[in-house]
């Protein structure tokens, strides 16, 4: 006859602990192999887009906008910064106007032009492969005309900016000497 085991027997507790550990390990394994949620993937993609936009010098506000909406947003930013610069010619308004133009032009160049490299056969005089031929294609003529119109409308401010930039460059040169 088998003796009755007491409640204080450590083997009962050990067995329960082993089962709990095995179940926790199984849950951990299924959690690591589970697919991420669709919403999580979308949020990661938008975060990556925002990071890429900031790395390219573009504002993160245009991440979810279409191309036309982004152009309108950036053009409005240039216009408002230009008006502020015309009213108050301070260093802060100059900086805002300059960054607005830079962001607009970066967006136009990124969205408007496509760079195609064609490999060339043969070697140069030093025995290295020849540099590829580069072809720049205009993708969207509408954006290009908008950019040229914007630059034409802001030409007087851009001339002032060029002179200010030239003066700043001269000051930096003097400071370095």
What's 121's DSSP letter?
-
**Residue 65: predicted pLDDT:** 81
Report the alpha-carbon distance of residue 104 to residue 56 in Å, rounded. 11
| Sequence-ordered alpha helix ranges (H) in 34-154 | 38-55, 67-87, 91-112, 141-153
Sign of CA dihedral 92, 97, 100, 101: negative
Backbone angles phi, psi at 38, to 5 degrees: -60, -40
Report the alpha-carbon distance of residue 162 to residue 38 in Å, rounded. 48
121-130 CB burial, b ≥16 within 10 A, e <16: eeeeeeeeee
Report the alpha-carbon distance of residue 77 to residue 70 in Å, rounded. 10
* Cβ atoms of 120 and 130 closer than 8 Å: yes
**Residue 51: predicted pLDDT:** 47
Q: Where are the domains of the chain?
A: 40-110+140-176
Which residues of the chain register pLDDT less than 50? 50-51
């Amino acid at each position: 006859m088998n003796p009755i085991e007491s409640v204080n027997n450590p083997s009962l507790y050990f067995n329960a602990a082993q089962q709990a550990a095995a179940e926790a390990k199984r849950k951990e394994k299924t959690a690591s192999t589970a697919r991420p949620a669709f919403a999580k993937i979308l949020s990661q993609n938008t975060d990556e887009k925002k990071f890429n936009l900031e790395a390219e010098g573009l504002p993160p506000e245009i991440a979810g906008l279409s191309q036309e909406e982004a152009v309108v947003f950036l053009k409005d930013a240039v216009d408002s910064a230009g008006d502020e610069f015309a009213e108050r010619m301070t260093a802060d308004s100059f900086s805002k106007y300059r960054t607005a133009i830079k962001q607009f032009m970066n967006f136009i160049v990124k969205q408007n032009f496509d760079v195609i490299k064609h490999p060339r056969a043969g070697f140069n005089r030093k025995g290295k492969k020849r540099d590829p031929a580069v072809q720049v294609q205009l993708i969207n003529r509408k954006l290009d005309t908008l950019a040229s119109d914007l630059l034409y409308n802001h030409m007087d401010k851009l001339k002032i900016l060029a002179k200010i930039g030239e003066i700043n460059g001269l000051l930096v040169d003097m400071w370095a000497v």
